[in-house]
Homo-oligomer: A and B are copies of this chain.
Amino acid sequence: MNLAPERLRGMASALLEARNVPSAHARLQADLLLEAELRGLPSHGLQRLPLILSRLDKGLADGQARGSGTWRRRSFLSVDGERGLGPVVLMHALEAMRPIVCETGIAIAAIRNANHIGMLAYYAEAAAKSGLIGIIMSTSEALVYPFGGTQAMLGTNPVAIGVPSGDQPFVLDLATSIVSMGKINHHAMRGMPIPLGWAVDAEGRPTTDANAARTGAIAPFGGAKGYGLGLAIELLVSALTGSDLAPDVRGTLDDIHAANKGDLLILIDAAAGDGSVRSLASYLDHLRGSHPSDPASPVAVPGDGARQRRAATERSGIELPQPLLEHLLALEAA
């Protein structure tokens, strides 16, 4: 059964508000989850809501907190997230940075003690739509093995980059793992196997069993280079936020521990640069029109697929896995 996005958005907001989350914060958290669903990224969608609710119930997330920032330097904001909801703390920091970015051209926020910030594209797009270049990085529990290794030692350490480029900003959002743990959970929840090469089991052996992968480790994307990038993000985030390193991180996949990963947000005023938004947009169109390797699949720009899926899902509605839908309906009825 497909449900209208507005129905699910209202349900998510109401469930959050019922846990003492102020309406504006609830709408923001719900919007982030719905945007992930709409863009075909269910691993970062409503599947995460029950955990968020449980964390609120247990005091591991504080729905009212927006995070408390200190300007350590003119363009360096240090943020204690105070257990706030990830999107609330992130967007609050982003808004606090705007006037500084316009003045200094670039600013950074180093955020600790915030809950899971979800789909990073959300923030990169918010920045780029308002004329700012946005670079967002985040860490996680140790889920990824190093290139040449077998043990989970790194987070999935995603990075998103948003660049103003005409009507549709360029938005890249990638985990430095070959897949997100959310996607492996999604396969496990639906009883689907995973492709060989995605993960190893707890003994370090390659596996196609999504459940075995959950206790093992995920491969980095792109071999040594992707591993290097993920490791650089691990170090950058921890060096600047003081957050724990992956083997000690907890709290984005459980409802037992406080979230002790970190998040970085770098904003750059695109207007300070010498480039032209029009030439970027025209280049991206040139790229889309270049010869594809498969004539049936035109070359795409990151974000194109998400926009197409979003438009289609707006029309068709969202189909949730039955157990998740039943769980949410039961929570709503409680």
Do B240 and A273 touch across chains, with their CB atoms under 8 A apart? yes
Q: A280 and B150 in contact (CB under 8 A), knowing A172-B228, A228-B302, A274-B240?
A: no
A268 to B110, CA, bound (A): 12
Q: A287 and B73 in contact (CB under 8 A), knowing A104-B104, A236-B163, A273-B240?
A: no
Do A174 and B240 touch across chains, with their CB atoms under 8 A apart? no
Do B239 and A273 touch across chains, with their CB atoms under 8 A apart? yes
Contacting B at CB under 8 A, from A90-139, are: 102-108, 110, 112, 133
Stretch in A18-26, A36-44, A289-297, A322-330 touching the partner: A289-297
A161 to B104, CA, bound (A): 22
Min CB distance A236 to B, Å, is 6
Do A148 and B274 touch across chains, with their CB atoms under 8 A apart? no
Interface residues of A (CB under 8 A from B): 72-76, 78, 102-108, 110, 112, 133, 146-151, 153, 161, 163-165, 170, 172, 174, 204, 221-226, 228-229, 231-232, 234-236, 238-243, 245, 247, 266, 268-270, 272-277, 279-280, 283, 286-287, 290-294, 297-302
Residues in B neighbouring A270, C-beta threshold 8 A = 239-240
A229 to B301, CA, bound (A): 11
Residues in B neighbouring A226, C-beta threshold 8 A = 221-222, 225-226
Min CB distance A238 to B, Å, is 5
Residues in B neighbouring A299, C-beta threshold 8 A = 146-149
With contacts A106-B266, A151-B291, A239-B275 known, what are 14 further pairs, Cβ within 8 A? A73-B102, A74-B74, A74-B75, A76-B269, A147-B299, A148-B297, A163-B232, A204-B291, A228-B302, A240-B272, A240-B275, A241-B275, A242-B274, A242-B276
Min CB distance A253 to B, Å, is 20
A133 to B264, CA, bound (A): 14
A275 to B234, CA, bound (A): 12
A174 to B223, CA, bound (A): 12
Residues in B neighbouring A108, C-beta threshold 8 A = 105-106, 268
> Which single member of B74, B170, B222, B238 contacts A221 (CB below 8 Å)?
B222
A228 to B102, CA, bound (A): 27
> Which single member of B232, B273, B276 contacts A170 (CB below 8 Å)?
B232
Min CB distance A206 to B, Å, is 9
Min CB distance A108 to B, Å, is 5
Min CB distance A287 to B, Å, is 5
Q: Which residue of B lies closest to A174 (CB)?
A: B225
Chain A to chain B contacts (Cβ below 8 Å), 16 pairs: A73-B272, A75-B104, A76-B105, A76-B273, A106-B106, A106-B107, A148-B297, A149-B292, A161-B236, A172-B228, A204-B291, A231-B302, A238-B279, A239-B277, A242-B275, A245-B279
Do B172 and A232 touch across chains, with their CB atoms under 8 A apart? yes
A223 to B300, CA, bound (A): 13
Do A239 and B74 touch across chains, with their CB atoms under 8 A apart? no
A299 to B192, CA, bound (A): 31
Do A75 and B273 touch across chains, with their CB atoms under 8 A apart? no
Residues in B neighbouring A269, C-beta threshold 8 A = 73, 76
Do A235 and B163 touch across chains, with their CB atoms under 8 A apart? yes
> Which single member of B150, B272, B280 contacts A293 (CB below 8 Å)?
B150
